[in-house]
Amino acid sequence: AAGVIQSPRHLIKEKRETATLKCYPIPRHDTVYWYQQGPGQDPQFLISFYEKMQSDKGSIPDRFSAQQFSDYHSELNMSSLELGDSALYFCASSSKDRHYGYTFGSGTRLTVV
């Protein structure tokens, strides 16, 4: 069965650069959630989208923005990268009623040097 696809798997950027992470939910899922997990840290909720509209916002820095497109994939745009942005960024998708829980992507590991 198709899973949530994230790209790239790994990304290395320098300070002050920009990065774009992508998340493709499974078919029929209309909701996408983004999480950031720093080294040894719990996952932190960043932002979520339902039907291409932002549905909730967590601890997402102002330097980051995200959107969901008509095919329900989502992109997380990160600018002016800082060393502290190094983390695993993973997304999860669900249908709005969440009767079947979430499907998790494996994540993008971002390293800022």
Partner 1 sequence: KNEVEQSPQNLTAQEGEFITINCSYSVGISALHWLQQHPGGGIVSLFMLSSGKKKHGRLIATINIQEKHSSLHITASHPRDSAVYICAVSSMNRDDKIIFGKGTRLHILP
Cβ neighbour number for residue 54 with a 10 Å cutoff: 12
Taking the complex as a whole, how short is the minimal distance between the CB of residue 43 and partner 1, in angstroms? 5
| Residues 23, 105 contacting (CB under 8 angstroms) | yes
Nearer to partner 1, 20 or 86 (CB): 86
Taking the complex as a whole, how short is the minimal distance between the CB of residue 45 and partner 1, in angstroms? 7
Residue type, 59: S
Taking the complex as a whole, how short is the minimal distance between the CB of residue 80 and partner 1, in angstroms? 25
- Let me know if 92 is exposed, middle or buried by CB neighbors in 10 A (0-12, 13-18, 19+): buried
- Compute CA distances 21 → 6, 46, 75, 100, whole Å: 7, 13, 5, 25
Nearer to partner 1, 44 or 79 (CB): 44
| Residues 76, 21 contacting (CB under 8 angstroms) | yes
Query: Would you tell me which residues interact with partner 1 (CB under 8 A)?
Result: 3, 9, 31, 33, 35, 42-43, 45, 48, 50, 55-56, 88, 90, 92, 94, 98-107, 109
Nearer to partner 1, 45 or 79 (CB): 45
Taking the complex as a whole, how short is the minimal distance between the CB of residue 34 and partner 1, in angstroms? 11
Nearer to partner 1, 28 or 99 (CB): 99
